[in-house]
């Protein structure tokens, strides 16, 4: 917040969106590819048909037009953003968040496409110093290559960390609990690089029938949650105590119950391992030594949630989740994002809360996790941030044309 203590009604919140998306227009990736891939890229791009209407519609330039993006976010009360991918990178069939893991034959070109995106993103972030924390992309097929890319991203100012791909059943890559990924966790720990796991990136292919699409919506967040218990039970945080995991755009209301469940299984299996005569003993063998501390302690010390547009039913759980863990996001420029009604989205979630708590969730926590300079951002927020009085006013009616689930009715019973 612009005032360090005792915020008054006219003080303004410094809002950092921990969940935004961007990417280059398809042909603009070409200069960022190695020259040896240009001919293949030209042939691929000439026949590629983009499956996403929002990436060919008039609003698509929001993804790459730096000036427009800054203006729209500021008008919406947001002064900085964590930038996840959105557009289709070279040689991918779809956006990288939803693309299946590459085959061995596809790997080289897909990896070249992600590296081109990372290099474009570094330039994009440099156009707005201190305002963007770009999230670099990696693939899990070659851990050594991923480690090198983490080092490159750190050296080139991508302060958003890395995007951890999903490893859904049938992907062909080891599960995330596998020790094969230890070099990746080690370099992220060494360089203080956040590991982000975004919703929608870990589901197996289900097809395109109406039932399959409905099942995807029911299951997609669960598949994204799996990264949490894979890394916990795999002992990643025991071996790399400085590793930080951020779970983004997969809700937050599920966290307390899931942590209780993980704590139950941890205690049950560790206890069973001491009773060799039981059939369950084998399931807990070696678990205590591999994991170290329990799931609740791992969450407390190592994990955060990019809660995106928090729904009203999630906010009362903030103390059980950890107030210092929660980072709000607008999901700009997606249709389900809060733009251009971010102020209303903040009101529907946070009206009536202590301003210090609101300030932490809408900006302070993200500044700490991603290294934003709040002094710099407070200067911008002094002109464009929403006021304490504005957000304290309960929202009586959502905007009629709002498309974000933040305004969806009947959400009070959903906890996932």
Q: What's the pLDDT tens digit per position in 335-384?
A: 999 999 999 999 999 999 999 999 999 999 999 999 999 999 999 999 99
Q: Strands, E, within 121-244: which ranges?
A: 132-134, 136-137, 162-163, 195-198
CATH (domain of 337): 3.20.20.140
pLDDT < 70 regions, the chain? 1-6, 410-416
Residue 12 DSSP class: B
What pLDDT does 288 receive?
A: 84
What pLDDT does 37 receive?
A: 98
Contact 88, 55 (CB under 8 A): yes
At 269, list the tokens: 């299996």
| Residue 3 within a domain | no
Q: How many domains does the chain have?
A: 1
Between CA 359 and CA 5 the distance in angstroms is 11
The pair phi, psi for residue 377, each rounded to 5°, is -70, -30
What pLDDT does 410 receive?
A: 56
User: Which residues lie closer than 8 Å to 351 by C-beta, 6 or more apart?
Assistant: 391, 392, 393, 394, 395
| Residue 169 within a domain | yes
| Residue 107 within a domain | yes
What pLDDT does 156 receive?
A: 98
| Residue 58 within a domain | yes
Between CA 297 and CA 303 the distance in angstroms is 10
Decide the pairing of beta strands 326-328 and 303-308.
Answer: parallel
What pLDDT does 415 receive?
A: 38
Closest to 221 measured CA to CA, from 349, 110, 344, 308: 308
| Residue 2 within a domain | no
Question: How many CA atoms, within 13 angstroms, populate the side-chain half-sphere of residue 1?
Answer: 22
| Residue 8 within a domain | no
| Residue 175 within a domain | yes
Between CA 222 and CA 297 the distance in angstroms is 21
The domain containing residue 28 runs over which residues?
A: 15-413
Between CA 360 and CA 363 the distance in angstroms is 6
What pLDDT does 5 receive?
A: 52
Residue count (the chain): 416
Decide the pairing of beta strands 15-22 and 78-85.
Answer: parallel
| DSSP bridge partners of 245 | 195, 303
| Residue 285 within a domain | yes
Between CA 174 and CA 188 the distance in angstroms is 19
């Amino acid at each position: 917040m612009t005032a360090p203590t005792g915020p008054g009604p006219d003080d303004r919140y410094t809002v950092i969106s921990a969940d935004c998306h961007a990417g280059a227009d398809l042909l603009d990736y070409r200069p960022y590819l190695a020259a040896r891939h240009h001919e293949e890229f030209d042939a691929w791009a000439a026949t590629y048909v983009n499956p996403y209407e929002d990436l060919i519609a008039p609003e698509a330039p929001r993804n790459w037009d730096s000036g427009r993006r800054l203006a729209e976010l500021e008008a919406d009360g947001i002064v900085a953003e964590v930038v996840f991918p959105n557009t289709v990178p070279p040689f991918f069939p779809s956006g990288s968040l939803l693309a299946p893991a590459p085959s061995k034959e596809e790997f080289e070109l897909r990896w070249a496409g992600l590296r081109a995106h990372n290099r474009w993103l570094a330039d994009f972030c440099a156009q707005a110093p201190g305002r963007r924390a770009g999230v670099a992309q990696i693939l899990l097929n070659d851990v050594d290559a991923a480690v090198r890319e983490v080092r490159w991203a750190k050296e080139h100012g991508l302060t958003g960390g890395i995007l951890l791909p999903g490893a859904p059943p049938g992907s062909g890559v080891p599960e995330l609990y596998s020790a094969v990924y230890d070099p990746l966790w080690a370099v992220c720990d060494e360089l203080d690089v956040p590991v982000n796991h975004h919703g929608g990136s870990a589901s197996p292919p289900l097809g395109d029938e109406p039932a399959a699409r409905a099942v995807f919506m029911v299951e997609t967040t669960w598949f994204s949650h799996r990264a949490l218990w894979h890394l916990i039970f795999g002992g990643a945080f025991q071996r790399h105590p400085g590793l930080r995991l951020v779970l983004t755009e997969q809700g937050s209301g599920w966290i307390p119950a899931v942590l209780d469940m993980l704590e139950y299984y941890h205690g049950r299996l560790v206890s069973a391992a001491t009773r060799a005569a039981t059939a369950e003993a084998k399931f807990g063998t070696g678990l205590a030594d591999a994991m170290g501390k329990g799931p609740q302690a791992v969450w407390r010390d190592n994990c955060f949630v990019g809660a995106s547009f928090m729904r009203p039913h999630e906010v009362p759980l903030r103390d059980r989740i950890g107030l210092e863990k929660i980072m709000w996001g607008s999901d700009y420029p997606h249709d389900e994002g809060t733009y251009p009604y971010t102020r209303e989205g903040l009101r529907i979630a946070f009206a009536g809360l202590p301003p210090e708590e609101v300030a932490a969730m809408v900006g302070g926590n993200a500044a700490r996790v991603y290294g934003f300079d709040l002094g710099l951002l407070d200067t911008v927020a002094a002109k464009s941030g929403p006021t304490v009085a504005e957000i304290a006013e309960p929202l009586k009616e959502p905007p009629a044309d709002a498309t974000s689930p933040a305004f969806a009715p009947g959400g009070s019973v959903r906890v996932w």
